[in-house]
Amino acid sequence: MFASPIRLHYNWQTMNTPAQETYDVIVIGGGASGTALLYTLAKYTDIKRLALVEKYADAGLVNSNAKNNSQTLHVGDIETHYSYKKAAEVKPASMMVARYTERLPEEEKQKIIRKMQKMALAVGEEEVKALRDRLVHLKEIFPTIEGLEGKDIAKLEPEVMKGRDPKEPVFALYNPEGYAVNFGELSRSFIRATKERASERADILFNTEVTSITKNGEGYRLETNNGILEARAVVVDTDAYSLGFAKSLGYGKEFSLIPIAGTFYFGPEVLRGKVYRVQDPKMPFSAAHGDRDIDAGGKTRFGPTARFFPVLEARNYGSIGGYFRASGLGKWKTWKSFYDILLEPVRFKYLLKNVAYEFPYFGRFLFLPEVKKIIPTMSGFSLRRAKGYGGMRLQRVDTNTKELLLGEGKIIGHNIIFNMTPSPGASVCLFNAMRDACEIEKFFKNEFVFDKNRMQQDLGCENLETGTDVSLKANYPA
Ligand SMILES: Cc1cc2nc3c(=O)[nH]c(=O)nc-3n(C[C@H](O)[C@H](O)[C@H](O)COP(=O)(O)OP(=O)(O)OC[C@H]3O[C@@H](n4cnc5c(N)ncnc54)[C@H](O)[C@@H]3O)c2cc1C
């Protein structure tokens, strides 16, 4: 049983220096994942005391920041490394974000989401054949998707065909029903919506960094730079940092993290939408793509690059220590797993090339061949490093099986959940929140009710293809 909640005075004026307080649920991390969960708990449950704890002064400033990711609502249509099954599951999970924004005032919606055409581009016979085959299956999941030959690609994305060798076979999957999302704005929208409906039940504690989590009876005690907080249940939504917290409590000891930094180059406005490339199945990271940027107007963003860099947070060198603590590099089996995964010849060559893309001045010329696969006429002089852009993709490794685990991961402990959320974590944030709300309901043995049906009705998260409820899957989607 849970200890009964202590109710101490909490003053909104002194948000940055909270008095000691006990909550029913504390969510740590104010990115898309944590804010989506706070919103879900505030709107669809009757939990009495909620808090979101975020170390920075606002929400959505780390991986969910529009500068740090590719702004794509991943639904599985142009992600050629997703199996059909995964595409069928990710689509309804991600579309919850689009459905959420439909109810917002037009001005707020415009800041968060834009309809944007998307393509997956195949170049060369092998890729073209693979993409043609894929179209047959995808059509069942995405009725609006079409296959385009070169002349049709030229009508929709002229620069993709300009200057291309006419003998080179090309083919594209095209979906006019794509979306670009500013996940940072989305996070702030969840915070606003929570404040509007549940300010008396939910405290939002910015500038509050959790330094340790310890077990406290049935619940947890959180040490922060602003004092001690207690919670009957905790959800750690700190993406790359979550595994470190899990390990400090004895969970997830078998996992390590391969830290892949993703940075970008800017080019002139040459694309109308998003152009992805066919993914090499050996590569765990998506191939560099071209995206019309919805935040930095008038530019196309190319990337992300993929470079091994041992930090948990981009441009935060203080997070090196956290990486070494979380990754278990003191263990031989971690090194053996890294050796097997990273020295696989195709990956090793790819990672080496990506180091070169970061060289000052010359990096853009070395990166140019990647861009030319999308825009054949691009010149190296037109590219410039997107300074201050890019994030960290921490890929989990199971050191027992030496497997690289793609997609998000979740560890469910005793009244605590740890979410690790690389791509498509931001796209599926509401779906993930729905799953966590189900777990929290179980933690509290139905003392609080989660109105999942209402959430599903509001946000349309039923898996329309199979008629099954995707939220029941325990291993989704990694
Ligand atoms: C290069 C790149 C491209 C990507 N492209 C896409 C894409 O196109 N589409 C997509 O869906 N996904 C994409 N992703 C993945 C996406 O960015 C993540 O899935 C998503 O942002 C994760 O959200 P989050 O809330 O879990 O983490 P974050 O947004 O990183 O939020 C975690 C929060 O936890 C806070 N925090 C950390 N430690 C503490 C602490 N000790 N105390 C308090 N607070 C703490 C941080 O300050 C941060 O605000 C991309 C990622 C990268 C790196």
Mutate to test the pocket of ligand 1, among 63, 79, 236, 291 (most ligand atoms within 8 A of CB): 63
Q: Are strands 227-236 and 21-28 parallel, antiparallel or unpaired?
A: parallel
Mutate to test the pocket of ligand 1, among 68, 211, 239 (most ligand atoms within 8 A of CB): 239
Mutate to test the pocket of ligand 1, among 62, 78, 243, 311 (most ligand atoms within 8 A of CB): 62
> CA dist 271 to 127, 301, 437, Å?
21, 9, 39
Give the pLDDT band of residue 250 (cuts 50, 70, 90): very high
Which atom of ligand 1 sits closest to the CA of residue 65? 29
Contact between 290 and 271 (Cβ < 8 Å) = yes
Task: Clarify whether residues 291 and 355 are in a common domain.
Answer: yes
**What is the distance of C-alpha 472 from the center of its chain?**
20
Residue nearest to atom 4 of ligand 1 (CA): 69
Task: Clarify whether residues 343 and 202 are in a common domain.
Answer: no
Contact between 416 and 8 (Cβ < 8 Å) = no
- Residue 394 CA to residue 114 CA, distance in Å, equals 27
- Residue 302 CA to residue 71 CA, distance in Å, equals 12
Query: What share of the chain in percent tops pLDDT 90?
Result: 83
Residue nearest to atom 20 of ligand 1 (CA): 426
User: Which residue among 128, 155, 177 closes a domain?
Assistant: 177
Instruction: Give the distance (Å) from ligand 1 centre to CA of residue 421.
Output: 7
- Residue 378 CA to residue 458 CA, distance in Å, equals 44
Tens of pLDDT, residue by residue over 32-48, are 999 999 999 999 999 99
Residue nearest to atom 32 of ligand 1 (CA): 238
Task: Clarify whether residues 319 and 465 are in a common domain.
Answer: no
85 within a domain of the structure (yes/no): no
Torsion sign, CA atoms 148, 154, 158, 159? positive
Which atom of ligand 1 sits closest to the CA of residue 237? 26
Which atom of ligand 1 sits closest to the CA of residue 94? 11
- Residue 403 CA to residue 385 CA, distance in Å, equals 33
Instruction: Give the distance (Å) from ligand 1 centre to CA of residue 101.
Output: 20
Tens of pLDDT, residue by residue over 438-471, are 999 999 998 999 999 999 999 987 654 445 555 5
- What global pTM score does this model have? 0.94
Q: For tokens 């994030």, name the residue.
A: 391
Task: Clarify whether residues 139 and 248 are in a common domain.
Answer: no
Give the pLDDT band of residue 81 (cuts 50, 70, 90): confident
Instruction: Give the distance (Å) from ligand 1 centre to CA of residue 138.
Output: 28
Average pLDDT of the chain is 91
pLDDT-wise least confident of 14-23, 87-96, 104-113, 169-178: 14-23
pLDDT over threshold 50, residue 210: yes
443 within a domain of the structure (yes/no): yes
pLDDT of residue 1: 33
pLDDT of residue 407: 80
pLDDT of residue 472: 52
User: Which residue among 129, 151, 177 closes a domain?
Assistant: 177
Give the pLDDT band of residue 2 (cuts 50, 70, 90): very low
pLDDT over threshold 50, residue 234: yes
Strand partners, 303: 289
267 within a domain of the structure (yes/no): no
Instruction: Give the distance (Å) from ligand 1 centre to CA of residue 423.
Output: 9
pLDDT of residue 213: 97
Give the pLDDT band of residue 9 (cuts 50, 70, 90): very low
pLDDT over threshold 90, residue 246: yes
Mutate to test the pocket of ligand 1, among 58, 190, 238, 242 (most ligand atoms within 8 A of CB): 238
Residues with CB under 6 A from ligand 1: 28-34, 53-56, 61-64, 68-72, 74, 183, 209-210, 237-239, 241, 262, 304, 390-393, 421-427
Task: Clarify whether residues 416 and 393 are in a common domain.
Answer: no
pLDDT of residue 474: 47
> CA dist 329 to 51, 326, 336, 339, 421, Å?
34, 8, 10, 12, 21
pLDDT of residue 222: 97
Task: Clarify whether residues 189 and 133 are in a common domain.
Answer: no
Which range of residues forms the domain containing residue 203? 20-64+183-254+407-472
Tens of pLDDT, residue by residue over 366-412, are 999 999 999 999 999 999 999 999 999 999 999 999 998 888 899 99
Which residues are CB-neighbours of 332 under 8 A, at least 6 positions away? none
Q: Count the domains in the chain.
A: 3
